[in-house]
Chains A and B, each alone.
Chain A
Amino acid sequence: MRRFFLLLRNEFKMFRTALPVHMIAIFQPTVMYILMAAIMVVPTFDMVVVQPQSALEQDLVHAMRQVGSPIGPDYIHTILTPQADPGHRQVIEVIVQNGQSTALQRFGYIDSNLVKNLRNRLTAATLLLWNQQLGPQAITIVEHPWLPLDVPYTVYFGMAMIALAGYLAAAMIGGYLMAQDFENETILEYRLSPISPLLLLAARFCRLLITGWIAAAILYIALGLITHMWASSILTVLAIIIPLIWIAGCIGLLAGLLLRSTLPTFLVALSTAFGFWLLGSGFGLAAGFSPTFESISRLIPNTAVVEMLFPHFYFGRQVQADLLGAILQLVATSLILGLLVIGVYRWRVLSKQR
């Protein structure tokens, strides 16, 4: 046991041999999350409206201010302007066209997705006005959230990035250190060592697990500070991502052992991390996409992990229909990759060349 802890201590000392790689691998997902949370994901949209003159126009502005989540933020922040201007990204003006009041929504330099979002918000506001006119005949939409709070998208996005953070740290650092051992010929120390390779790999996996946890915990804290949503238990979150970190460590080590060169290994770690993140429910639950995409997504370990994390950020709401199947999938993948690492390590490091 003393030898194992000495190996583990040495593994952590290797931090000094690749400081920038460690910094990138551990902090990159958190930095990316903070930037994306600040720039991209905003529930309340600024919508410019020409200064209301008539009572109808004032009613429209009032209705726009009422549009929002019943248990969350407003969806529209109105900004009044004296007149419509082509320089506005979007501006609304009430005009009379063919004897009817018309809300004319003009769009400037924005993309079709944002046009859709702005139009939907205006439609929601006009629906409010319409229903007021219809009186008892109105068809009212009642939003009934099951959760006590309208959980912002930044929570889902961050939750999926916790999985990414653990994966990236383990794959990148595991692969990099292994490839470096080949490039610097320090692998000879391992080749000639009489120690059991299982003990060596156990120490390395343990170190990658702790590193993956650190990266995930940093992102967890950033997520909590930004959204004020804290998972029910950080220990549970860290426990759930263990198999993913293990899988990432295996993929990193395999890349290092097979490629024996830093840059290609680095690229394998990076591309699998981001590929798995995008395909593995990184931007939304797999069930919300096409059946084909969902089928592919379910092959990726991130999907199982994200769906297991989900209840801990969404007030216990379960989305994993087959929890046992997901656990079995992660365990089987971990076992197969673990055995593969042992086999490839024996082949690439310990075997005598024939």
Chain B
Amino acid sequence: MNNNFAIEVQSVTRRFGDLTAVDNLSFQVKRGEIFGLLGPNGAGKTTTINLILGLLLPQQGSLRVLGYELATQTRQVHSCVGYVPQETNLYLDLSALDNLWHHAALYCSDLNHVESRIETLLRFTNLWERRKDAVRTYSGGMKRRLALARALLHDPELIFFDEPTQGVDVQGRFALWDHIQEQRAFGKTFIISTNNMLEADTLCDRLVIIDHGQAIALDTPENLKAGLGHSIVTLRTTPPLTDPEDVLAQFAVRNISNPRPNEIRFEMLDAETGAEDLIKHINRTHQLDSIQLSRPSLDDVFLFHTGRALRE
């Protein structure tokens, strides 16, 4: 057992009939980290979370959460984790206070400080003024903040947050991100499952990209982006390049796309050194209106690893 790790997933496999949802998956999450789980729909993220929460049993492999063996110490694990599911499962006809007291009865073994903790968390999530209103009257962002407050109520060491800002407006999104960062400062570990790459890039210390049940990339967002080794080049020409594959054939480019009629975008290896040659080459046949070189985003990393094919 390594006490530095909040989660240790070791060669875990989970099948549903013929479908292998999680396939020999291994990763560790350090204590105090904000760790992202990324992957296309059906990649195995939810199954992974359910396995770590002890809601599913793995067919192979082992899981340790906060030093506890999950298979035999599920109750100890449950007392130390908080979970904010994707579908905010609050009692909509009850107030925020009632929802939190309900959670306290289920999760808090010591009820002495619950009242003050509820007040602290409702103030922290800016819901104190609306604490007596039915949750049904809350906005999407308020519901997510309340769900976070609820997950934090029993002071868990580890919090799972599934799609933290789905359906939340921009202000609500930033508020939630701030709340997560503030809680991390108190030593909490967060596991965030998200499809929002900006969110993953902003929040996560490290992240794993899962596809077909396997971990296909695991590192910090910076390293993952740098690891691609290419830059994104955006060109505007007059007239537009009608046959970019032929024109650019002599350069190490890939994934050419046409975001706009007179604009093409592609990935290019060693773009910083090869840009001058590229400009000269284009200028021979076209008028180059603009050229832009940028580092790849997490979207690019994600697409690089998982491809562009639509997933169901």
CB within 8 Å of B: which residues of A? 2-3, 6-7, 9-10, 13-14, 16-17, 184-186, 188-195, 200, 352-354
Beyond the given pairs A9-B101, A10-B101, A186-B89, 8 more chain A to chain B contacts, judged by CB atoms under 8 angstroms and listed by A's residue number, are: A7-B105, A10-B98, A188-B83, A188-B85, A188-B89, A191-B55, A194-B79, A195-B107
Instruction: State in angstroms the CA–CA spacing of A191 and B56 once bound together.
Output: 12
- With both chains docked as a complex, state the minimum distance between the C-beta of B233 and any C-beta of chain A, in angstroms: 46
- Given A10-B102, A10-B105, verify A353-B94 contact (CB < 8 Å): no
Please tell me if the beta carbons of B94 and A17 are within 8 angstroms of each other in the complex: yes
State whether the Cβ of B289 lies closer than 8 Å to any Cβ in chain A: no
| Chain A residue with the shortest CB-CB distance to B98 | A13
Instruction: State in angstroms the CA–CA spacing of A191 and B83 once bound together.
Output: 11
| Chain A residue with the shortest CB-CB distance to B59 | A354
| Chain A residue with the shortest CB-CB distance to B102 | A10
A2: chain B residues at CB < 8 Å are 111
Please tell me if the beta carbons of A352 and B55 are within 8 angstroms of each other in the complex: yes
Number of interface residues of B (CB under 8 A): 31
State whether the Cβ of B217 lies closer than 8 Å to any Cβ in chain A: no
Instruction: State in angstroms the CA–CA spacing of A10 and B111 once bound together.
Output: 14
- With both chains docked as a complex, state the minimum distance between the C-beta of A99 and any C-beta of chain B, in angstroms: 80
- Given A185-B85, A188-B83, verify A6-B94 contact (CB < 8 Å): no
State whether the Cβ of B220 lies closer than 8 Å to any Cβ in chain A: no
A354: chain B residues at CB < 8 Å are 57
Please tell me if the beta carbons of A352 and B57 are within 8 angstroms of each other in the complex: yes
- Given A13-B98, A186-B89, verify A193-B107 contact (CB < 8 Å): yes
Partner of B91, one of A3, A186, A352: A186
Instruction: State in angstroms the CA–CA spacing of A245 and B75 once bound together.
Output: 32
| Chain B residue with the shortest CB-CB distance to A184 | B89
Partner of B57, one of A6, A192, A200, A353: A353
Please tell me if the beta carbons of B106 and A189 are within 8 angstroms of each other in the complex: yes
- With both chains docked as a complex, state the minimum distance between the C-beta of A83 and any C-beta of chain B, in angstroms: 65
Partner of B94, one of A3, A13, A188: A13
A200: chain B residues at CB < 8 Å are 106
Instruction: State in angstroms the CA–CA spacing of A54 and B55 once bound together.
Output: 91
Please tell me if the beta carbons of A6 and B56 are within 8 angstroms of each other in the complex: no
23 A-B contact pairs sorted by A residue (CB < 8 Å): A3-B109, A6-B104, A7-B105, A7-B106, A10-B98, A10-B102, A10-B105, A13-B98, A14-B91, A184-B92, A185-B87, A186-B90, A186-B91, A188-B83, A188-B85, A188-B89, A189-B89, A190-B106, A192-B53, A193-B107, A195-B107, A200-B106, A353-B56
Instruction: State in angstroms the CA–CA spacing of A16 and B83 once bound together.
Output: 25
Please tell me if the beta carbons of A189 and B102 are within 8 angstroms of each other in the complex: yes
- With both chains docked as a complex, state the minimum distance between the C-beta of B158 and any C-beta of chain A, in angstroms: 12
Please tell me if the beta carbons of B56 and A352 are within 8 angstroms of each other in the complex: yes
Partner of A195, one of B76, B106, B134: B106
- Given A3-B111, A16-B94, verify A194-B89 contact (CB < 8 Å): no
| Chain B residue with the shortest CB-CB distance to A6 | B105
- With both chains docked as a complex, state the minimum distance between the C-beta of B160 and any C-beta of chain A, in angstroms: 10
- With both chains docked as a complex, state the minimum distance between the C-beta of A160 and any C-beta of chain B, in angstroms: 34
State whether the Cβ of B119 lies closer than 8 Å to any Cβ in chain A: no
B91: chain A residues at CB < 8 Å are 14, 17, 184, 186
